[in-house]
Structures are given as C-alpha cells and as structure tokens.
C-alpha cells in the first residue's frame, strides 16, 4: 500500500464546490485520471457505466477512476442536464447555480440545496499506474471510516482565496485520497487487491516485500523460498493461493508496472529503464511490455491521441 501511495502527489489539483437544486444531474467528462467526490450537504448517486448506481451521503468519499464515464445526480433516473468538462465546470444549467465568487464555488448555499465537493488529479503521472489498475471503477468510503480529514476544512479552504492556496489544496487532495484508500485497504469486507491482503501473511508478505524492494534482482522461486524459510513448493502454492498468480508472474507484472511509471515520469532511455526493473535490455523489456500491456514502451510514453495507453 505504501509503495502505491508514495507516488500520489497532486500538482495544480482541481477543486470545486457546486450548489444544486433538485432535480439535478451532471455528466462528468473532465478527463482527470482520478476524481474524489463528497457531499457536504444532501446526498448523491454515482451512476457509472460499469456498475450499479452507488449512493453517497454527506461526508462519504467516493473515489472514481477517470476511465469510467459516470454521472452524479440526485436520483439515478434523473437525466443529465450538463456535461461537465474542466473548462466549463460552472456553466449555468437547470438545477445548477451560476458561478459566483470565489472562483472555486458554483453558486451560494441556500436552503436545503445539495452541496457537492469534488477534487481531481489533473495528470496521470501524479498517480502510480499500479494504484489506478488496482482500484474498482467507483469505491465509496463511509464518513465514519475516514477520520483523518475534515470535509468542512476542505470546504473552508476552497471558499477563500489565500496566499499559497494551490499548494494547500494539492496536499488536501493527496490526504483525501490516502485517507480514503487506507480505510478501503483496511476493511476486511472490501474488495481490495489480493496482493494487499497477502502482505499480512508472514510468508507471502515477506516474499512480496523482497520482490518490491529489489525488482531488478534475478529472482527465482527457489531464491525467494530460501529467503523466507520455506520450501519452493510451499511458497509457490501459498503465494498463488493468496495473490492469485505465481511468484514469477507477479514479479513480471510488478516490473512492468514500475517501468510504466518510469516511462511516464522520467526521460530515461528505454534500455536504462529496462535495467532498473530487471530486464537485460530494451528488447527484453519491450517484449514483456507488449505481452502484458499490449503495447510497446514507446507507445506508453507517447500515447496516440484519443487512445488510452495500456
């Protein structure tokens, strides 16, 4: 978990507070790789194209992947009256108040109007590819399960213009996400990734940490088994049962995940990246990348417009 969250660092995070009168529905199309949403007052439904509608009450935090088309509405049956992009978040439309000062707030809270607070990471490189691939389309963390951050504090910061405010908002978005995901990972009933659950196992968790700490080492199952003090067969069985794939398959996936992040975040040559993650040369990395991601490293670094890289 720590490795996945260590790469989370927002820069120029987008925050908005929107005041809405029923009936209302917003079709979200900002293009952000990850969005967080919470209701400061009232409730909302997250209507995703990939799963059943999800209700969020005041204080709940919804984490929504950017590749998932979705609508936020007062009722799942309400037809969206506005497609929201990063450019026209506060456009006037039926049920949504016009933009007013300060710039990050759309409308003035009055009566029982619903108040939606949302924050988005603008750039994919601010988030680990491994984290994005591990998340469900939409996950909701109940208000009581994420005590590290007060939504009222976030709303107060959004409602004022202060020196250094963008840096504060960036860190608040980081904290919102880390707090929400920590609660999700810790929930035994949540559908968290198998590798996260396996970290608690004394044998498999130790093997995972070895792979994570030294991905470039030429590991074999026998090496791992010797390091954690069990037989090769015992490690292979237990690892596969808990993680869902054999140790060497997991290692290949982990190496390609690291390579994908380095391709996005650095200007290192592909051959340099290959050696950093455990491949002999650029050709070996390219072959593995193509097998696991369906694309070449160079295509992942410079994706074709309109096509999402593996």
Q: How far apart are alpha carbons 134 and 213 in whole angstroms?
A: 19
The last residue of one of the domains, among 134, 153, 186, is 186
**Same domain (yes/no): 152, 10:** yes
Cis peptide before 102 (omega within 30 of 0): yes
Residue 191 forms part of a structural domain: no
**Same domain (yes/no): 72, 207:** no
Q: How far apart are alpha carbons 252 and 232 in whole angstroms?
A: 18
Q: Are strands 25-28 and 82-84 parallel, antiparallel or unpaired?
A: parallel
**Same domain (yes/no): 214, 160:** no
**Same domain (yes/no): 227, 107:** no
Tell me the torsion sign for CA atoms 258, 260, 264, 267. positive
**Same domain (yes/no): 131, 174:** yes
**Same domain (yes/no): 19, 129:** yes
Residue 308 forms part of a structural domain: no
**Same domain (yes/no): 111, 200:** no
Write down the pLDDT at residue 211.
93
Tokens 């009232």, residue? 42
**Same domain (yes/no): 179, 213:** no
Predicted structure pTM score: 0.68
The last residue of one of the domains, among 186, 208, 240, is 186
Residue 270 forms part of a structural domain: yes
**Same domain (yes/no): 114, 224:** no
Write down the pLDDT at residue 17.
78
Please give the chain's pLDDT, 310 residues, in tens: 666 666 666 777 777 778 888 888 888 877 778 888 888 888 999 998 778 899 999 888 899 887 777 899 999 999 887 777 655 545 444 444 444 444 566 756 566 788 888 888 876 555 566 677 778 888 888 887 665 566 777 777 776 777 777 788 888 888 888 888 878 877 767 677 777 777 778 999 999 989 988 999 999 999 999 999 999 999 999 999 999 899 999 999 999 988 988 888 788 999 999 999 999 999 999 999 999 999 999 888 875 444 343 3
**Same domain (yes/no): 124, 221:** no
Residue 294 forms part of a structural domain: yes
Number of structural domains, the chain? 2
Residue 218 forms part of a structural domain: yes
Residue 100 forms part of a structural domain: yes
Residue 286 sits in a domain whose CATH number is 1.10.10.60
The last residue of one of the domains, among 166, 186, 206, is 186
**Same domain (yes/no): 211, 243:** yes
**Same domain (yes/no): 58, 152:** yes
Range of the domain at 259: 196-301
């Amino acid at each position: 978990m720590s490795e996945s969250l260590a790469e989370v660092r927002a820069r120029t995070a987008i925050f908005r507070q929107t005041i809405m009168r029923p009936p209302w529905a917003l079709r979200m199309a900002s293009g952000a790789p990850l969005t967080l949403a919470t209701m400061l007052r009232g409730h909302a439904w997250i209507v995703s194209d990939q799963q059943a509608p999800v209700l969020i009450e005041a204080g709940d935090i919804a984490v929504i992947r950017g590749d998932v088309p979705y609508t936020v509405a007062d009722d799942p049956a309400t037809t969206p009256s506005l497609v929201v992009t990063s450019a026209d978040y506060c456009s006037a439309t039926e049920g949504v108040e016009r933009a007013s000062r300060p710039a990050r707030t759309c409308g003035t809270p009055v009566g029982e109007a619903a108040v939606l607070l949302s924050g988005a990471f603008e750039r994919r490189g601010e988030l680990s590819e491994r984290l994005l691939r591990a998340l469900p389309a939409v996950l909701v963390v109940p208000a009581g399960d994420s005590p590290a951050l007060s939504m009222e504090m976030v709303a107060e910061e959004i409602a004022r213009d202060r020196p250094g405010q963008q840096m504060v908002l960036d860190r608040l978005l980081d904290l919102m996400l880390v707090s929400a995901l920590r609660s999700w990972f810790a929930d035994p009933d949540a559908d968290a990734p198998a590798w996260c659950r396996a970290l608690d196992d004394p044998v498999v968790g130790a093997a995972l940490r070895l792979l994570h700490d030294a991905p470039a080492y030429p590991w074999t199952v026998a090496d791992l088994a010797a390091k954690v003090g069990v037989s090769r067969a015992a490690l292979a069985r237990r690892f596969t049962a808990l993680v869902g794939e054999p140790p060497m398959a997991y290692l290949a996936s982990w190496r390609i995940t690291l390579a994908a992040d380095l391709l996005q975040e650095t200007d290192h040559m592909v051959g340099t990246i290959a050696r950093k993650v455990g491949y002999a040369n650029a050709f070996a990395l390219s072959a593995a990348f193509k097998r696991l991601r369906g694309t070449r490293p160079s295509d992942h670094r410079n994706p074709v417009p309109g096509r999402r890289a593996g």
